[in-house]
Amino acid sequence: MHNRKQFIKNIALTGAALLSSKLMLYANEFGYLTNNSDANLLLFEKTDAEYEKYRKGFNLRIEKFPKVIAICKNNNDVVKALQIAKERKLNVTIKSGGHCMEGFSSNDDGMVINLSFMNSLEFVDKSTIKVQPAITLKQIYETLIPKGFYLPGGSCQSVAIGGLTLGGGYGLLSRAFGLTCDSLIEATMVTANGSIINTKNDKDLLWLLKGGGNANFGVVTEMKFKVYKAPKTMQNFKFRNQHISITDALDLCKNWFDQVKTLPNSCFSAFIFNGNTVYIMLTNVDINNAAAIKFINYFKSISTKATQTVRVPLAKALSYYYAEDHAIHFKNASAGLYKSYTDIEKILPSVFEKIKSKSGILYQVNTLGGNIQNKEFEAKSCFPYRDFLYFSELQAYWDEPKQAKHFLESFEAIQKDFADGGINNHYRNYPDINFKNWQQSYYGKNLDKLQTAKRKYDSNNLFAGTQTL
């Protein structure tokens, strides 16, 4: 016993991570902690105190219990973890930030490759950054914007760049700069067989990872992005109509679809209905041109309350949309991508009735278009829905676990309305366990190519989490 304690103490003194004696013995059994350079890999099982800390994701609604959580800090750790997974016949999922809305970054009784310590950022040159997958959007923005640069991304502060990019990556400035994946210029990935490959030597892989790479082919451990000159300021507008009837909410929705058509690429807008109130949001990172002024004046004239900020520095304006940085109970899923209001015109009356009858559920439609439709970006990525102009989502939030059942019943009834109405194209970063034909829904015209790539990079289906190819 004394020798074991001294051995663990010595490991700690040399700067290696301290493992429980049980896990140290387990790792040594397979020969993976035989020297200091190997001691980065941490393996936690259900009986270990550290297990619960790393098991949790951002969505408290979802409880999954992997057999092994592998904490990887470099490529070699990932290679070793995958070797252990194969030896123990464990399916593998990958966690960068843990924000997947359906918890697909975890699993039951498999292995989770946890990359949360791989969160560095450095400038390669004045227009290129190199990042690891677990760095968060807040960390990226707080590093880049003070230096005058911007990487297009989402608005939730604790989302990690890895999963966001591999599914596409959408946010307030996507119309101005394109999707997050459109800025990806290079990536390093560990394949199922333990090979460490770089897209410089595999151009097809870069295309695959730009919108089709969510844990399908391997573990992405490093990314290089082109960054842009950051807009100096952003202005935010909100138009509100409270205590609104369903008929009036439907009219407002149709009017919003009509008005956003001419907005400049510097603008983002959203329509939100929570059953009682319609909110219309607008952001602009440029001077309001005639089309933006027309939009603003129109909704001012028909809203019960309109608010706007002065133009504020971009970092401060983005922080208004950061949302919670801690785990919460929620359900959020794509409600479809649309080309026009006519796609949903016959569906919305039933949807709005259901939302009005269940407080706490809301429906949101966001503007796409702009540089998302850039033909060069389209050719260089497998994101399949460039020609759609709107992306929608359903959201529900609650405080206590016991409330989940009633929210989920209403949520799924609304989803059925959309499915029955033929809405079946969905954004992969807003997945849902209930999408029946999920492969086609997420990947559309590029599904066949992605399935072929799956056989190339992961022929034995080691990466076999829920809704992976």
Residues paired with 460 in a beta bridge: none
Residue 19: is its pLDDT beyond 80? no
pLDDT above 70 as % of the chain:
92
Segment 138-143 mean pLDDT: 97
Which pLDDT band holds residue 213 (cuts at 50, 70, 90)? confident
Report the pLDDT value the prediction gives residue 33, as an integer from 0 to 100: 34
233-444 is a CATH 3.40.462.20 domain: yes
Higher pLDDT, 6 or 266: 266
121-229 is a CATH 3.30.465.10 domain: yes
Residue 288: is its pLDDT beyond 70? yes
Residue type, 142: E
Report the pLDDT value the prediction gives residue 26, as an integer from 0 to 100: 36
CA–CA dist 362, 393 (Å, integer): 8
Q: What is the pTM of this model?
A: 0.91
What are φ and ψ of residue 16, in 5° steps? -80, 160
Report the pLDDT value the prediction gives residue 39, as an integer from 0 to 100: 54
Report the pLDDT value the prediction gives residue 324, as an integer from 0 to 100: 79
- The string of DSSP letters for 92-118 reads EEEESS---TT-TT--SSSEEEE-TT-
Segment 43-48 mean pLDDT: 96
Segment 58-65 mean pLDDT: 95
Report the pLDDT value the prediction gives residue 72, as an integer from 0 to 100: 98
Comma-separated ranges of CATH 3.30.43.10 domains in the chain:
2-114
Residue 203: is its pLDDT beyond 90? no
Q: What is the DSSP letter of 313?
A: E
Question: Taking the domain 2-114, which CATH number applies?
Answer: 3.30.43.10
Residue 9: is its pLDDT beyond 80? no
Higher pLDDT, 3 or 321: 321
* pLDDT, tens only, 303-343: 999 999 999 999 999 999 987 788 899 999 999 999 999 99
Answer whether 66's CB lies under 8 Å from 108's CB. yes
Which pLDDT band holds residue 133 (cuts at 50, 70, 90)? very high
Report the pLDDT value the prediction gives residue 36, as an integer from 0 to 100: 31
Comma-separated ranges of CATH 3.30.465.10 domains in the chain:
121-229
* pLDDT, tens only, 419-451: 999 999 999 999 999 999 999 999 999 999 999
CA–CA dist 314, 421 (Å, integer): 39
Report the pLDDT value the prediction gives residue 106, as an integer from 0 to 100: 97
* CB burial of residue 455 (10 Å; 0-12, 13-18, 19+): exposed
* pLDDT, tens only, 400-415: 999 999 999 999 999 9
Residue 34: is its pLDDT beyond 80? no
Which pLDDT band holds residue 247 (cuts at 50, 70, 90)? very high
Comma-separated ranges of CATH 3.40.462.20 domains in the chain:
233-444
CA–CA dist 192, 217 (Å, integer): 7
Residue 197: is its pLDDT beyond 70? yes
- The mean predicted confidence, pLDDT, of the chain is 91
Among 88-97, 113-122, 285-294, 355-364, the range scoring the smallest mean pLDDT is: 355-364
Answer whether 70's CB lies under 8 Å from 77's CB. yes
Which pLDDT band holds residue 10 (cuts at 50, 70, 90)? very low
Report the pLDDT value the prediction gives residue 331, as an integer from 0 to 100: 95
